[in-house]
Chain A
Amino acid sequence: MEKDINELKDLYTEGKLGGKELDDFLKMMDDDPELARDVKLQLLISRTLKDEGSFALRENLNAIHEKQKKKKFGKIVPMRYYRVAAGFAAIIAVGALLLFVMRPPLNKRLYSQYYKAYEASYSVRSADASGDKFNQAMGKYSEGNYKDAWSMLKELSKVDKTDMGSFFFRGIAAMEIDDLDDAMISFNAIIADKRSLYVEQSEWYYALCLLKKDNIVAARSALQKISMDNGFYKTSAEEILNKLGN
């Protein structure tokens, strides 16, 4: 009795089709891309459901995820909703601009109000004779020579990617010389490493970078995360959010 197409798909995906039947089936797939697509998918389904190890791993991971997400994370609000909100904010901003033509935009004013270079807690001198490059860089930083500090810290953070101190002060120095892209890259290197002492500070300065870059939507999202985390910058983050409006 001639086999139906479903049977042929089963036999093919289970490697049980041979001889002329296999040749004919391969030709059918060559002539019919939709059939080829369907068979490819069936092959993957077969492989996936047979893979006990990966299946068990996914079950385990899902159980962990379900448990943790209820506890730890807030819900991610899709950016499109923020964009709608941002649209309304833009309309309001236009009105405000008519009244306050000479004033800088709100985000820039908030940035100036809340940004303050992080104070180095290191006791350093620019003429540090120890040869310790980090100390030398921090000497420049403390003097307010952010340009030199930035290039030295950038070199250090390139050499040792675990040196979160270099990454952090490189980020602040970059903000001071208005290289916000580099600042964001530096802070992100720290945020990715949850063990760092600078995670909380980096999240704060990262949000300020977004604010200054006119990326209000992302800034708002970053500030909301800071607010939810109940850390040192919670109050400031909430103040900015309030001032930005809903």
Chain B
Amino acid sequence: MTDYSEEDIVEGISHNKHDVLEYVYKNYFPAIRWKLALRARFLQEDDVWDIFQDALVVLYRKLTVEKIELKCTAKTFIYAVCKLMIKQRRDKLGLIEYEFKVVLDEIVDPVTESEVTEFFADLETLNDDILEGLIIKYYRKLQGSCKKILRMFYKGSSLKEIAEAMKLKNEIIAKKQKYRCLNYLKNLLKDDSTFQQVEKNLKQYGKRY
């Protein structure tokens, strides 16, 4: 496998380059998976993958939207974000106090963690990142027509355009169909135990509007 420089890795993540992402996956994911597999009582394959994927998306956004300059390696950043995300999901993963501490200590040491947390004005935003990961996960489980309607709507298509594309009778039907799909997605999310866990972490919704 090609070895990439740190610069190549950062650039590849920013530009969603398949070969670089594959390299990152092969070299960074097994250690996180391995550490959690040893510790978490209720671990499922998806949980580890969700954590890792969400951490990569966080890095992608930091690089492309906030345009941060990393002070550590991409690997350290990803591991530290995984660590922060494990903190948010600890109950779901079934980590008891001792195991929880050991897992966190193992993933990245406190010095590098602080190098990473300085990029987060508010660590609570990580909960939103976890929720976004869940949204995509459940969005993928929707029926094809629902996926298409929601994508079109959020990409700015009008109800008339949606009705035409989906061969629906009129805009009113398209609107009803869109609400049905959106509510179905919301209900799937609200039933998810990780969603409920993260919701508990977000202390007061009201204050955020």
Contact = CB atoms under 8 A, between A and B. Distances in A.
Specify whether A and B are partners: yes
Contacts of B126: none
Range class of the A interface residue count? 35 or more
Contacts of B102: 181, 184
22 contacts: A26-B209, A33-B205, A36-B209, A45-B182, A49-B135, A50-B155, A54-B132, A61-B21, A64-B22, A72-B30, A73-B30, A73-B33, A78-B42, A78-B44, A79-B41, A79-B43, A83-B41, A181-B102, A184-B102, A191-B31, A192-B106, A221-B38
Interface residues of B, number: 58
Contacts of A62: 53
B186 A45 contact: yes
Interface in A1-42: 6, 26, 29-30, 33, 36-42
Interface stretch (B55-63, B115-123, B166-174): B55-63
A129 interface: no
Given A54-B57, A57-B16, A41 B206 contact: no
Contact of B94 (A37, A79, A184): A79
A221 B40 CA distance: 11
A32 to B, nearest CB: 10
Interface of A: 6, 26, 29-30, 33, 36-42, 44-51, 53-58, 60-62, 64-65, 68-69, 72-73, 75-76, 78-80, 83, 161, 181, 184-185, 188-189, 191-194, 210, 218, 221-222, 225
B205 A40 contact: yes
A222 B36 CA distance: 11
B66 interface: no
Interface string B32-50: 0111011111111100110
